[in-house]
Every structure is written in C-alpha cells, then in structure tokens.
Amino acid sequence: MPKQFRPRDHEDRVRQGWEAARAFHADPDRVLEGRAKPYAILIPPPNVTAALHLGHALNNTLQDVLARVHRMKGYETLWMPGTDHAGIATQTVVEKRVKALEGKSRADFAQDGERGRAAFVERIQAFKDEYEVRITEQLKRMGCSCDWERQRFTMDEVCARAVREAFFQLFKAGLISRGKRLVNWDPVTQTALADDEVEMEEIEGFFYSLRYPLVHRGSVGAGQQSLAAGEDAMPVTWNELAVRGYPGADEHPGDAQAWVTVATTRPETYLGDTAVAMNPKDPRAKALRGLFVELPLVGRVIPVIEDDYVVMPEALGGDASDPKAQFATGFLKVTPGHDPNDYEIGRRHELPIINIMAPDASISDQHGWNDVGNAHLFVGKSREEARMLVVREFEARGWLERKSPYRHSVGHSYRSHVPIEPYLSDQWYVKVTDDSLRGAALRAMAGEQRSGGDAHPTGGGVEKTEDGLRFFPERYAKTFETWHENIRDWCISRQLWWGHRIPVWSLRAELPPDTLPFPDWPDPSDVGVSEFETEYNERLRKFAALIGCAGQLYAKCEWREGDYCIDVCAATEEAERVFTLYSKPDGSTWQLHAHLEPDAIVALRRIEEMTRLNESLDPVFSATRDPDVLDTWFSSALWPLSTMGWPDADAAANATGIADFPSLLPAFNPTNVLVTGRDIITLWVSRMVMFNRWFTDQQQNPAARQGEGRLPFHHVYINPIIQDGHGQRMSKSLGNGVDPLDIIESHGADALRYVLCQVATSTQDIRLPVDLVCPHTGKTFSPKFIRNSQGRLVPAPIQECPADPTKKMVTAFGLASGQVKPSPELPLARNTSAKFDIGRNFATKLWNAARFTLSMLTEPATPVLDPASPDLGVADRWMLSRLAAAIDAVDVAVARYEFSVYAGQVYDLLWRDFCDWYLEIVKPTAAHNPAQRAVLRVALDAMLRLLHPIMPFVTEVIYEHIGTLPTASVQGLSLDAPDRAGLLCRAGWPRAEASLRDQAIESTFARMQELITAIREVRAQHQVHPRRPITLHVSIELHAELRALGVMEMLRTLAGVERIETVPPAGQAAEFTFGPQRLAVSNLADAIDAEAEKSRLEKLIADLNKSVAALSGRLANPGYAQRAPAHLVQETRDELERKKAELAVAIEAMEKQG
C-alpha cells in the first residue's frame, strides 16, 4: 500500500470497478421471485438548471449511505436516478443565455409561431443535455450508487407517457378542469404560479387614504351590475347625507360634495374598482344605501355595497383585537380583477371584473378595460409609475387624505422576485381538495403521527396505521398534515414553452344569442351540458375504438360566458394524431385528408353532427391545442410511478431496451424512503402521496375507495439545511456557497461524505463556517466579513493574503455582486470549510491504520477463532466486544436515520478504540500471536464494512488489499464474502451475536485505561520524557490482579512502565491514587520536580474537596436518602468514601512534599 492516501489516485479507478461489475444494478425479478427483499429509494431529481451544490451533496450522500447499507444487508437495492426539467427555472436561465448569445428574446421566437417555439425549446433541450451530463458526473464523483442504467428525465418518453395518462385520468374523473380565476401572475416570466411558488416578503410601503366623491347614479345604465359613465351622475352633498342620518355629516360644509375614504396600499388599482364596500353593521351604512361613488378621472360610477368582510374602524364598533381595525376607514375599494379578497366580494355581489393590466403588469386598456375616460395618462405605465401618478393626481385634486408608512407582506415570485400580480386568466386546476386526493393523503399518515381532531377519518381499515406514511424527524408530520388541511385547488398550467404540453384540444365558438345546441333542451344548464357531454363522449368512444385508440379520447363540454366549448383530451400520442385529420389547404374550407376506414368516417360524422351546429365551429379534430405546459411538479408528482414504467411498462421496455421494466413497479413501489428537504414536503411529497395513491387504487384493492391506493414510500426523511457560519442560506448572490467538486478535489469524496454525515444531526440545521483558500499560498483562512445592503454577513469583496497582506484576492461575493472582477493580480479565492479537514484526517487515519494492520498480518492468523480462547487477552476480548457494540449502535442509528450518530460511532471505534488503544497494545505482541492476528484481521474487515457506506472509495481500495489475505473468522461475527467481483460494496454487512459482547471485560479494560491515563498524567506533570522507562509501585493485591489479567505488557507499551514493584519507592517518587489504591511512580527523572508535584497535588486536592463537598451535601439532604432510588444513594455513598480516601492520600503526599 502506498504510504499516503491520495483520493484522486483511486477514485476514478474504484468507480470504474463498480460500474464494470454493475454493482448497483437492481434486479426486480429477484424480488418478485422472493429471493431478496426490496429496498428502493427514488432520487429527488435535481433540476437541470444548474450544477449541484452542497445541499445536493448532503441529500445524495445520505441516500447513498442508506442504499449502500441495505445493499450490504442483502436487500435488492434500487436507487433510481434522474433529473427534473424544472420548467420555469430552466426556461428563465436559457432565455437569459439566448439573449446574451444570440440577442434574441422569447418574443422574437414567438413571432414564428409554433416553429419559433420549437426552435426555442430546442435550445433549452441542448442546455438540458449539457447539465444532465454534468449533474450525473457530479453524482458519480460523489460515489452515488445509483442504478445508472435506469436513469430517467421528467420529460423523457417514459415519463411523458405517465404525465399524459395521469392528466387524462384526472381529466376524465373531473378532477382537472379549466377555470377563469385570479392567479398568481409573475409579470416578468409572464406565467401563472402555484400558491407555494409565491414567497411572502415584508416590504416598507405606504397606506394611502383616497377620497371617492359620492354621487347619485344618472339615467344611463339600468341594472346594478352595469357601470355608468359619469356625465349625468349627480353629486351628493353633505347636507343630503346629514338628512339621510349620516353620523358626522354636519361637520362638513353642507353644499360641498360628500365623499368616502378608502385606504389602500395599491392606489393604481383604483382604475379597476367596481364597487366600494362597507360592513352592513357600520352605523353609516344606512345613510349610504343606494348611493354610488364616481371614480376620479375614470368617471366610472360604482355602487356602495355592503359585505361582512369589511373591517369596521375601532371607533365605530370594530373589533379592537383586530389590528386592521385601527387602520380601517370602514370603506373598502373593491377591485375584483386585481385582489383575491375583492374577487370573492365581487363574486358574492356579482360585480363586473375589470382587468387594467397587460401581462407585463403595465396599465393597459387592451385587456378588458374600456372605460378609460380621462385616465389615459396612466395607460402604458408600470404598476409602480402608475401608483406615483395616481397619488399625485389625487393629491392635486384634494382627494388624497393621508399617506402613512406601512410595513406589510407582499407575495413575490420565487423565480423572478418581483411582486406577484393577482391576474384574471384561464388556467387549469387539479381539484386536490377532493377527498380522493387530499383526504386520502391525510389518511395515509401513520396513526401516531397524526394529531387529533380528525376531519378525514380513516375509512374501513383499508390501510393499517403501522404501515402508514412516517416522517423522520417526526415533527415534520405536522407540516404535512396542516398543509393538506389548508390546501387549495392546484393551478397546474404555466404559460411557458418548456414542459409537458397540456394534452387538450379545444373548440370554441360563440353561440348566437338565445340559441341552444338542441332546440328541445330546456336550458343550457348543467343538466343540459352533461347530457350533451354524455352523448358526445359516447360517439367519441365509438370513433376512438374504430381508429385503434379505444378509451384514449375524452371530451368535456361546457357553455361559458356565452361561449360554446368542447375540450378533448388525448391520452396518448397515437390518439393525438386525430387532431391532424383535417387540413385547410386553401385557407377557407376544412377537408378530411387522412385515410380512415368507412366505419370510422361514419363515426366521425356522428361527432361532427354535434359540433357543426354553428357554422363558425371548425371540424372537431382540427381543434387548437392548449398552448400552456404543466407545472413541473405535476410530472414530479408522478416520479414514483413514471420511473417504474407506469402506465405502460411494456412500452417503456420497448422504448428504452430495458427488458425488466414491467417488474419494477410490482417489485419496488412503494419505495422505502424519500430523502428530501423540508421545503419539498408541500411541493412534492404531498403530491406524490396523492397521485401514487390515486393512480394505484384499483391495483391495491378493487374494493378500495377512490384514492386509497399504495403509498409512494413508507418513510420520509427530511435532511437538514446547510447554512453558512452565520446561519444564512448558502446562495450564489451571497457568494457563501461551497462547491462539492472543489471539496472532492481538495479533500476527496470520502472526506466530503464523512463530514456531511457527521453534521447531519436530527435537531438542527447545519452551520458550516465558510473559509477561503488563498490562491497565492493554497492555505485556508477565515475571511473578513462585511454586511451587504440587505444586512447579510458576506465575505468582503477583496481579501488580503494572511501570509502577505500586499497580495490580494477576489471573493465569490465580490464576483457575484459585480463589484470586482478577478484578474491575474486579483485571483478568485475558492470557498471551502475547515470542517472538511475532519473527514480528510479520518480517511488518512483509516488508511494508515489499515496499512499498519496489514503489515502485521504477513504471517497467517488463526483461521477460526473462538472468542473464549485462552490465546486472547483482555485487550483482544475488549476489541471484539467494542466491535460488536458498534455494529449494534450503527444498526440502530441507520434505522432511525441518525447519520451523525452513525458517523460518530465509527469514528470512535476506529480512532479511539482501535487505533489509540488496540493497535498500540498489540504492536509488540501480534507478530507471535496468531489469535491476535485473527482479531486484527476481522476487526479491520468489519470496520471497513461499517465505514464503507459513508466512505466508499478509501474502504474499497483497502479492501482490495485485505482480499489477498487468507481468511480468518471469529465465531459469532458474520462477515459474508462479496457476491460480485470481490467488491466491498457487494460484501455482507457485519453481524455480531450478543455473545461477543462482554460487559465484564469492558469494565476491566476501562479500569486499565484509567490506570494508564493516571500514570501518563503524572509523567506529563513531571515532564518525564516519553521514552524514559519508569517504575510503578503497587500493592501486592493489585500486582496479583495485574498479573492475572496479563496486562503487564500493556502497561509497558502504553505507560512506559518498565518495572512493577510491590515495595514503596526508596527514593523520590510521585504518589497518586487509583480508585481506593495508593500507588506511586518512581525513576521519573534524575530529580523529581518538587514544584510540579506540589501544583499537581494542589489541584488534585482542590478537585477532591469539591467532590467530597458535593457528594456529602447530597447525602445530607434528608429528601435524597428517603426518595431517591436506593442503588443511587448507595452509589453516592461509595463514591464519597472513595473520594475521601483519595483526598487523604493526596493530603499525605502533599505533607511529604513539605
């Protein structure tokens, strides 16, 4: 073995060995044939948007540890790898890139219609290919034992089929539908976002109080819903209000026009106001009933309405405990088009909805606002500009009553970070509030992790609670539960190009007023629609069967806002081809051009009968496809199913050449555990649970209620979040991230992995102080920190070399903030963390320990060793016992997902027990003791196995050397040989029988450790040279005991005790106690250092005095002796006696010193 372990010399070769042996390839058929138990993990697919960061390294290291442990335990282990297309994120990144490289924006591509879209998607595809390779490479370099042959991508053919089928089934079940609703609109990326893609941020804004003049409505406009232009509206005066009994009206000039004051943080939305609301209990309500206000400049006359939602001011009887009551004026401007609450009020009062903005959130009269009046000056302005202008105009007219600073939280896009605009648009929704989704997810939880107050009771014992979904650490179960209790319908359409396109083709036409599709139908009510739909689908069904797409087409029909709509969903690409049956070659008439069997043509005509009622309608199958794509999480939600070939594993097998695809789902779903971050509980975990259960409910049990199918995984382990040394999230903009590849380069993959496991405790997030590598010296140092504009602690942009202050460097923050650019004089300093040294040191320690152990194993060892053999000494028995204890502790830690405990156990076993004690003890004896060599042999072997899941590379390399030795075994310790290519990663997990544990030996050995430490302490106090042999003076009894235990050699080796005598020292000596025994060491040096001895004794006496006082104090407490458990009281008494004896010895020794 080389003297030094250099990771880079081995890592590639080891990895190639694993791959050549297909060591990580899982065989589902072994599971189905009952030859092995399954263990499966699905990778949370990393986004193809960027390279992996340290958080990914942690997440994947922990998964790999689990996978490797279980593989060694004999489970058929599948770790399924893959990547996620990450719609909005990837598209945004590529848009920026294309803009920079080609100078073209997405709008430029959009001008070429579908072709431009395809060209743009091609560029994203290329980007994806590049990053997918990069991510895969990173995972491999970390040592991830994924089944690489099965790698998937959320948009590949296999996954796409799952998305199609899932959408189709939900669509058919009525759980996916289209609706015009207020969505969270991101005006920069110009797409809708789901609720959980919106981040609330506190901002410093203003509360503006605006006055709206009161009027009587004029003659124009009959119904309350229509809005009148302002010309003939008549002002309402304060006098009139006084007459109507308006409280306080007489405080205003009587013949002046009266007003009401509304308060808002967004004055510009007044352009879209369609009412002013007040609480019906407001004492002013009666006087204002039937009156209107006229919106300044716009001139729109809108009603004053009454709604319970409006908060009354505290002065007028509002709820004093509601903080809003202190700000409230009692009047609420209602803008249904741009505020979710106002939207609800609008629905209750059937108010018109006016959209005053373009998709980029600039004020626009082109998107549903057509009574601009004198408000032209705002058109074309951004939200922010318009806000300033509106305030200025109100102020100029005296309509601005007040402007006060106001801190409030505003939703921001998680992607573009601009404020979300509530925006009215057509979107697709999944009705996750349905009991078969939300309710089923809640019922899936393990019983004891659920809280009380059960609104979704478990039904019919479909699932036993002990099989339920379980969270580690368990506190996260609550996050999952409350999320589902408060869930709202899930908006799944995104106005993007990168993603799974919604498989719906639509026909839309305006019906002439008062016409009905079938004259004999009473009304275009729901009944009528559903009858139409049933008939339509019946005809569609026949047609689909005739063209070989049975069951793959389904239509939803509805009348909306006077439009006549048919949405047809195609479950497969084959079925999708029907939408190209027609062409319009001359631009006027649709023609059927495709070849169809006569029966199919007849069936097609039957469908057309129902869609050609109106001449403006195109033939049904020339309908236009929905332009939107699905939310990325929709395909992620299917990951447990899609990666295993659902819904058509044979097709997946054909497409990929992976013949055993059909066995995957039956063998590995549900998987064992999902390892992910806590922010993903809502975004992903929830949706996987809902979908996996919903889509497997029939396979689970034909009698199961809807949505009560299988879980996607039994356990969810939430890994901690890595933060920098100041508790801040690592991010590119703060320049405080550490690149895992840098650490692999500088410390090795094993070191990276070890440290990530070691810091993964279950209680806290991980603080990893970030250091810099000086590019001039290569040394690591802690940088100087400054606060950035947001008050975050970041490394100063420029740092000095600690060794030479004239040399400077640029930090990642300096680069990211654009303040400095690296140059030859100012090189970029890489981020690192001194924490990773722990892992590197540990790997080195293992390497050296193994090298040394192997050097002692050149002679054969006892082939089959009985641990009770008389050839074994105390230390040997002790080592075996410690090993067995560590195996148990590691097994428990792994089962509890306590990675830090696991790392700590193997650290102590190798470093403290094996290296510090055992190796030192056997150094002089192993050469002529074959039994001891057997212990060395199995201990090293077992430790390599225990360490392998955390540090796979270094252990695999060492194992190659162990493999050349003749085998040795110890009874009670199972170390099964590798089942493939002699690889450690395929070797058996160590199993120790309880008989290997020996409590008596462990406590005896602990006593010897104490004795040795006591002697070493005296030596150190007296500055005795480490190699100077000394003499130990003990009682006859202790001497006999030491001899019986056979530890004389150990004392020589570890404490430098050359002679042991039973007579007191003749000359100068240092006395000390060992339990109740009085011992001394002599021959320390030519002369004893009296001062050193004195100060040692002083400290000892002080310590002992403290102990005696504490112990006797406890015993003096009357309650203690009476109430504490008897054995504890006895222990205290014994302890006190010991301490008193030691004290006496120390005092006597002190007196001798004079």
Partner RNA sequence: GGGCGGGUAGCUCAGUUGGCUAGAGCACUCGCUUUACACGCGAGGGGUCCAGGGUUCGAGUCCCUGCCUGCCCA
Q: Tell me: does residue 1131 bind RNA (CB under 7 A).
A: yes
- Binding string, 979-1008, against RNA, x = CB under 7 A? ------------------------------
Taking every pair of Cα atoms in the chain, the longest distance, rounded to a whole number of angstroms, is: 126
Strand partners, 864: 969
Decide the pairing of beta strands 563-570 and 591-592.
unpaired
If one asks whether residue 763 binds RNA (CB under 7 A), the answer comes out as yes
**Residue burial 1034-1067, b: 16+ Cβ < 10 Å; e: rest:** beeebbeebeebebeebbbbbbbbeebeeeebee
Selected range binding RNA among 114-122, 292-300, 614-622, 836-844, rule: CB under 7 A = 836-844
Piece of 277-285, 457-465, 726-734, 812-820 that binds RNA (CB under 7 A): 726-734
Query: What's the rounded Cα separation, in Å, for the pair 918 and 882?
Result: 11
Contacts with RNA in 845-864 (CB under 7 A)? 845, 848-849, 851-852, 855
Dihedral (Cα; 366, 413, 167, 507), 10-degree rounding: 0
Q: At residue 644, what is the residue type? A: M
User: Structure tokens of 967?
Assistant: 């085998």
Q: Which CB sits closer to RNA, 62 or 607?
A: 62
Q: Which is nearer to RNA, 198 or 601 (CB)?
A: 198
State whether residue 816 is helix, strand or coil: helix
Question: Is 915 an interacting residue with respect to RNA (CB under 7 A)?
Answer: yes
Q: How crowded is residue 593: how many other Cβ atoms within 10 Å of its Cβ?
A: 11
Q: Does residue 99 sit in helix, strand or coil?
A: helix
Q: Does 678 bind RNA (CB under 7 A)?
A: yes
* 243 forms part of the interface with RNA (CB under 7 A): no
Q: Least distance in Å: CB of 732 to RNA?
A: 16
Task: Pick out residues in 43-62 that bind RNA (CB under 7 A).
Answer: none
Contacting residue, 69, 607, 887, 1104, with RNA by CB under 7 A: 1104
Residue 660 vs 916, nearer CB to RNA = 916
**Got the DSSP string for 29-94?**
HHHHTTSS-EEEEE--PPBTTS---HHHHHHHHHHHHHHHHHHHTT-EEEEE-EEB--HHHHHHHH
Cβ proximity of 677 and 721 under 8 Å? yes
Choice between 438 and 1019, CB closer to RNA: 1019
Q: What whole-number distance in Å separates Cα of residue 982 and Cα of residue 21?
A: 10
Q: Which of 105, 654, 731, 1117 binds RNA (CB under 7 A)?
A: 1117
What is the chain's length? Answer: 1154
Task: Return the residue of 519, 522, 1119, 1154 that touches RNA, per CB under 7 A.
Answer: 1119
Strands 259-264 and 780-781, sheet pairing = unpaired
490 contacts 197 by C-beta, under 8 angstroms: no
| Spatial CB neighbours of 688, under 8 Å, sequence gap ≥ 6 | 636, 637, 638, 639, 640, 674, 712, 713
731 alpha-carbon distance from chain centroid: 15
Q: Is 616 in the site for RNA (CB under 7 A)?
A: no
Q: Is 486 in the site for RNA (CB under 7 A)?
A: yes
Site residues for RNA, 70-109, by CB under 7 A, read none
**Residue 918 C-beta: closest distance to RNA, Å:** 9
> Which listed range, 78-86, 519-527, 947-955, 1017-1025, lies at the site for RNA (CB under 7 A)?
1017-1025
3-state helix, strand, coil in the chain (%, to 5): 45, 20, 35
Cβ-based neighbour number of residue 774 at 10 Å? 22
Q: Is 840 in the site for RNA (CB under 7 A)?
A: yes
**Which uninterrupted H or E stretch holds 624?**
strand 624-625
Q: Does 326 bind RNA (CB under 7 A)?
A: no
**Nearer CB in complex with RNA: 148/1120:** 1120
Contact string (CB under 7 A) for RNA, positions 922-941, x = contact:
-x------------------
For 148, which DSSP code? G
Site string for RNA, 1045-1084 (x = CB under 7 A): ----------------------------------------
Tell which one of 77, 900, 905, 932 touches RNA (CB under 7 A). Answer: 900
From 688, 730, 919, 992, residue interacting with RNA (rule: CB under 7 A): 919
Q: Could you say whether residue 489 binds RNA (CB under 7 A)?
A: no
Complex with RNA: residue 326 or 1023, whichever CB lies closer: 1023
Residue of the chain from 843, 935, 1042, 1070 that contacts RNA (CB under 7 A): 843
Q: Draw the binding track, 4-23, toward RNA (x: CB under 7 A; -: no contact).
A: x-------------------
Residue 777 found at the interface with RNA (CB under 7 A) = no
Query: In this complex, which beta carbon is closest to RNA, that of residue 474 or of residue 866?
Result: 474
Q: Find the Cα–Cα–Cα–Cα dihedral 884, 886, 892, 894, rounded to 10°.
A: -120
Q: Which residues in 404-443 contact RNA (CB under 7 A)?
A: 409
Please identify, using beta-carbon distances, which residue of 546 and 680 lies nearer to RNA.
Answer: 680
Task: Measure CA of the first residue to CA of the last residue in the chain; give whole Å.
Answer: 57
Out of 223, 727, 966, 1067, point to the residue binding RNA (CB under 7 A).
727
| Closest to RNA by CB, 537 or 1021 | 1021
Measured from the CB atom, the residue of 585 and 1125 that comes closer to RNA is 1125
Our finding on whether 1023 is near RNA (CB under 7 A) is: yes
In whole angstroms, the minimum distance from the beta carbon of 767 to RNA comes to 3
Q: Does 834 bind RNA (CB under 7 A)?
A: yes
Q: How far is the CB of 850 from RNA (least distance, A)?
A: 8
Q: Which is nearer to RNA, 39 or 490 (CB)?
A: 490
Query: Site for RNA (CB under 7 A): how many residues?
Result: 83
Closest CA relative to residue 239, chosen from 227, 226, 225, 253: 253
Q: How far is the CB of 837 from RNA (least distance, A)?
A: 6
Q: What minimum distance in Å lies between the beta carbon of 442 and RNA?
A: 16
Buried b vs exposed e over 818-834: b needs ≥16 C-beta within 10 Å? eebeeeeebebbbbbbe
Of 507-515, 550-558, 915-923, 986-994, the window that binds RNA (rule: CB under 7 A) is 915-923
Report which DSSP code applies to 467.
G
Distances (CA, A) of 623 to 582, 586, 601, 627: 9, 18, 18, 12
Smallest gap, in angstroms, from Cβ of residue 259 to RNA? 31
* DSSP assignment of 318-329: --TTSTHHHH--
Q: Residue 802 in contact with residue 787, Cβ under 8 Å?
A: no
Q: Does 1013 bind RNA (CB under 7 A)?
A: yes
Q: Binding of RNA at residue 659 (CB under 7 A)?
A: no
Min CB(935)–RNA separation in Å: 15
* Contact flag: residue 1020 with RNA (CB under 7 A): yes
Counts for the chain of helices (H) and strands (E), in that order: 39, 44
Nearest one of 129, 142, 145 to 53, comparing CA atoms = 142
Q: Which is nearer to RNA, 664 or 688 (CB)?
A: 688
Nearest distance from C-beta of residue 680 to RNA, angstroms: 10
Shortest distance, position 1030 Cβ to RNA, whole Å: 13
Report the alpha-carbon distance of residue 1057 to residue 613 in Å, rounded: 108
Q: Are 53 and 89 in contact (CB under 8 A)?
A: no
Site stretch for RNA (CB under 7 A), options 107-115, 124-132, 380-388, 918-926? 918-926
Binds RNA (CB under 7 A): choice among 118, 133, 200, 243: 200
Burial class (CB within 10 angstroms; exposed 0-12, middle 13-18, buried 19+) of 802: middle
Q: Is 1111 in the site for RNA (CB under 7 A)?
A: yes
CB of 1153 to RNA, least distance (A): 19
